[in-house]
Amino acid sequence: MQLEEIKRTFAELYGEGEVLSFHSPGRVNLIGEHTDYNGGYVLPCALSLGTYGIARKRQDSLLRLASTNFGIRPVEFDLKHPVYSSEHKWANYFLGVAYEFNKLGCNFSGVDLLVSGNLSSNAGLSSSASIELLMSVVLDCLYECKIPMTELVMLSQRAENDFVGLKCGIMDQFAVGMGKKGMAMLLDCATLNCEYIPVKLAGHSLVIANTNSPRSLADSKYNERRVQCEAAVDMLRARLNIELLGEISTEMFEEHKYLITDETILKRAQHVVYEIERTKQAAQCLIDDDLVAFGKLMNESHNSLSALYEVAGFALDAMVYAARKQDGVLGSRMTGGGFGGCTVSLVREDCVPAFIKNVAFDYEEKTSLVPEFYIADIGDGTRRID
């Protein structure tokens, strides 16, 4: 839906009157997967795709929330006493943000809110972070809280960690909130130091492919991976004074990996340590305009995520392997938490139409699933747009 159409729908639901409009992007991570909660580096960028929001103040404490994607009839919640429930489903992300605003002691009341997204909720492109940052910016703007964006980013992460129960790292919320058009972000997740790097694709496109394979990170092995990484740190502490895997180099890992006596935990740690190094190398490739080397690192990343971290699975592997067979492809990998979701491929522009046709055919033949494709434009972070 276009913005003006969303505004008309808002007026039909809530009545005429002055409104504010917002946009919150999704994100694609170019490389650096499952490194954020380990205190490592990631290389995401915000997308032009995302979530629109139309909002207006209320005098009471009600959130009246509707979505063009999940049924247009508004549902109501008390923002002063938000309560998590599995029955609330996607609304829990909005309520979690309100919960965090209450903890900060912010003075706000209710909101009429209509959201409309062009980002599939099961794609692994951070639709949850997109609506968390949308709600954060809506409350901040409507009630003039004047909270810095970096704090809104961390507040939104706490909403997902503590209210929703998914122990995600900071990458998704940071990329969504702090994105800049045409820029990737080399983010040190331990310090939140960020270097913006221009993405100059030189006749290539980033093609995102949604596997349309069912996924639910909160109910999956995602949290288990985090526990396994913590177990690796506990074992390494016998010789190393560390808190997170992101604190050690590949050389230190090779010297001390004998301390990790569980084979599965060793594989998880090996992925994280080497993925952090790949991410730093990939950022330098973008700076050096070396897309061939960047593509090779993308391939290495996926191979590690599949074999060592075991978060790819049949659908993501099928999509990646189909992509790598096509002309003009420099690299292809899963992006996001895994267990379904999306891949991202670096494809020569003149090969994109054949790439989409051939990959769709190959993937559907192997999985009986029909994929969706997006050409990724790198956009700005969450903001008011009127």
Q: Write the pLDDT tens digit of every residue in 298-326.
A: 999 999 999 999 999 999 999 999 999 99
Shared domain for 156 and 242, answered yes or no, is no
Shared domain for 67 and 159, answered yes or no, is yes
Shared domain for 77 and 181, answered yes or no, is yes
Shared domain for 95 and 147, answered yes or no, is yes
Shared domain for 327 and 268, answered yes or no, is yes
Partners of 77 in the β-ladder: 63
**Could you give the angle at the alpha carbon of 193 between the alpha carbons of 190 and 198, nearest 5°?**
130
pLDDT for res 376: 81
pLDDT for res 123: 56
Range of the domain at 85: 3-197+380-384
CA-CA distances (angstroms) from residue 200 to 25, 181, 183, 272, 294? Answer: 20, 12, 9, 27, 12
**CA–CA separation, 28 and 182 (whole Å):** 13
Is 80 exceeded by the pLDDT of residue 20? yes
pLDDT for res 191: 95
Shared domain for 189 and 238, answered yes or no, is no
Phi, psi (degrees; rounded to nearest 5) at 335: -135, 140
Is 70 exceeded by the pLDDT of residue 346? yes
**CA–CA separation, 282 and 314 (whole Å):** 26
The CATH number linked to 356 is 3.30.70.890
Q: Write the pLDDT tens digit of every residue in 44-101.
A: 999 998 999 999 999 999 999 999 987 778 899 999 999 999 888 889 999 999 999 9
The CATH number linked to 124 is 3.30.230.10
Query: Domains in the chain: how many in total?
Result: 2
Residue with tokens 């331990």: 190
Active site residues: 172
Shared domain for 97 and 206, answered yes or no, is no
Considering only CA atoms, give the Rg of the chain: 21
The separation between CA 373 and the C-alpha centre of its own chain, rounded to angstroms, equals 17
Q: Write the pLDDT tens digit of every residue in 236-246.
A: 999 999 999 99
Is 60 exceeded by the pLDDT of residue 215? yes
Q: Are 101 and 150 in contact (CB under 8 A)?
A: no
Higher pLDDT, 369 or 72: 369
Residue 185's pLDDT band (boundaries 50, 70, 90)?
very high
Shared domain for 235 and 355, answered yes or no, is yes
Q: Write the pLDDT tens digit of every residue in 112-171.
A: 999 998 876 665 566 889 999 999 999 999 999 999 999 999 999 999 999 998 888 899
**CA–CA separation, 230 and 217 (whole Å):** 18
Shared domain for 284 and 314, answered yes or no, is yes
Six-digit token string for 134: 């949308």
Q: Are 302 and 30 in contact (CB under 8 A)?
A: no
SS (H, E, C) the chain: CCHHHHHHHHHHHHCCCCCEEEEEEEEEECCCCCCHHHCCEECEEEEEEEEEEEEEEECCCEEEEEECCCCCCCEEEECCCCCCCHHHCCHHHHHHHHHHHHHHCCCCCEEEEEEEECCCCCCCCCHHHHHHHHHHHHHHHHCCCCCCHHHHHHHHHHHHHHHHCCCCCCHHHHHHHHCCCCEEEEEECCCCEEEEEECCCCCEEEEEEECCCCCCHHHCCHHHHHHHHHHHHHHHCCCCCCCCHHHCCHHHHHHHHHHCCCHHHHHHHHHHHHHHHHHHHHHHHHHCCCHHHHHHHHHHHHHHHHHCCCCCHHHHHHHHHHHHCCCCEEEEEEECCCCCCEEEEEEEHHHHHHHHHHHHHHHHHHHCCCCEEEECCECCCCEECC
Shared domain for 275 and 169, answered yes or no, is no
Shared domain for 182 and 210, answered yes or no, is no
Supply the mean pLDDT for the chain.
94
Higher pLDDT, 124 or 280: 280
pLDDT for res 217: 54
Shared domain for 180 and 33, answered yes or no, is yes
Q: Write the pLDDT tens digit of every residue in 251-275.
A: 999 999 999 999 999 999 999 999 9
**Among 143, 116, 95, which Cα is nearest to 13's?**
116
**pTM beyond cutoff 0.85:** yes
